[in-house]
Homo-oligomer: A and B are copies of this chain.
Amino acid sequence: MSKPSIGFVGLGAMGFGMATHLVKEGYPVHGFDVFPASVERFKAAGGIPASSLQDSAKEKDFYVCMVASAPQVQSVLFGDDALPKNATLLLCSTVPASYAQSVAAELASIGRSDISFIDAPVSGGALRAAAGTLSIMAGAPDAALENGRFLLQEMSDANKLYLVPGGIGAGSNMKMVHQVLAGIHILGASEAQGFAARLGLDAVKTAEAIKSSPAWSWMHENRLQRMLDEDWHPGASALTIILKDVGIITTSARQSQFPTPLCSTAEQVYLSALLQGYGPVDDSSMVRQYFAEPITKVSSTKAEEETAEALQLVLDLMEVTNLVAAAEAISFARYLKVDLKQFYTLVADAAGASRQFMTKGLEIIEGLGQDVSGETVEGATARLEKAVQKARDLHCPLNLGNAALSVLFMAKKSGLGAEGSASVVKAFEN
């Protein structure tokens, strides 16, 4: 049986990988993009160029939307001469859940409830897009998911297709709460390495110590080499990308009046960097917000004991900040009624992972009081406090460290000081 034709719009870095992967798998893929050069490139890679958005949709029973700004395309897709009856539409762009829901509402209001609409944001980067091994977080009514499942499976890794309960918007919410962690950890990696440089610590040795400690985060490990090489132009992951995702988070959080102090703090640093011209540059360049020179220029002259003490401050900063980040992400997820066990499974194997999330986060999800570390809120506060004070003495900004410390102080004021450190989550849930 021949494979069905697929319409595709949005042939940027991610979309191009996804669409050409489908081509390799034997699908006739009709691709469109507002940039003619992208369509040409797609044609050269074996795709079928569409002459217009309408052309890409006409008579296609299956359609994938992977544009940066989805609102531009929907009216065309739904108009006359566009998606045929009973078509399946995958919205793979990263959008607020409320936007995905508005699309479903529009479909109903214009009498196109026949369309199987799936809210299916993806994650994993351009390489995995091209390999068909993305993570996909798909939410929709069961019937729609059934229709689109083969396509979701083609584009995702077998273990990384998450069928998210909760219908339209649930997939986007799942991606969003994952990005809370990603958005914080990207800056956190720079903040920790910048602080280490200010302390006169060797960058590589510090990074090795972080990797094997409770301060580990996926983002730190992933961004490290680019940070060391200052390999930023063009960015493998441009600042504007994480800034867009973080904007969705803080905008949605404001709509819910839910506090996301760490994510919001990260956003402010990203916006300041944008003003300084860092927009198209790799996000690992944020280390320069903390240290004015390449961090590899630091050559440590400290005695062994002094080095160990300074290193401990960096580990404490990162570990406690990541703990508060886990609390912020999980409490927001819980507020949004995201399936927390699925969220945990997803994060464990994705870019938002951190050792704190894996341990204390699990405690938060499964029920406080397991006391996985034996440390109290007060104990974690004391460690972070020491790191923040040292940074202040060195005139080093620690945006996330200070924001996390404010949350911990608020938690202490609420009487949580003597509870296990994972109880900091209650500062978000009182």
Residues of A within 8 A of B (CB): 243, 247, 250-251, 254, 257-261, 264-265, 267-268, 271-272, 274-275, 289-290, 292, 381, 385, 388-389, 392, 395-399, 402-403, 405-406, 409-410, 412-414, 427-430
Contacts and interface: CB of A to CB of B under 8 A. Distances in A.
B261 A392 contact: no
Given A272-B272, A430-B413, A402 B251 contact: no
Contacts of A268: 397-399, 402
21 contacts: A247-B392, A250-B392, A250-B402, A251-B392, A254-B385, A254-B389, A259-B410, A261-B403, A264-B405, A264-B406, A265-B402, A267-B392, A268-B398, A271-B395, A271-B396, A272-B272, A275-B290, A275-B395, A410-B427, A413-B429, A413-B430
Contacts of A272: 272, 289, 397
A429 B412 CA distance: 11
Contacts of A409: 257-259
- Please tell me how many copies of the chain the complex holds: 2
Nearest to A261: B406
Nearest to A399: B268
A409 B427 CA distance: 11
A395 B398 CA distance: 22
Given A247-B392, A392-B251, A402-B264, A413 B275 contact: no
Contacts of A274: 395
* For the complex of A and B, 9 pairs with smallest distance between CB atoms: A259-B409, A271-B397, A261-B406, A259-B406, A264-B402, A268-B397, A272-B397, A268-B399, A259-B410
A174 B272 CA distance: 33
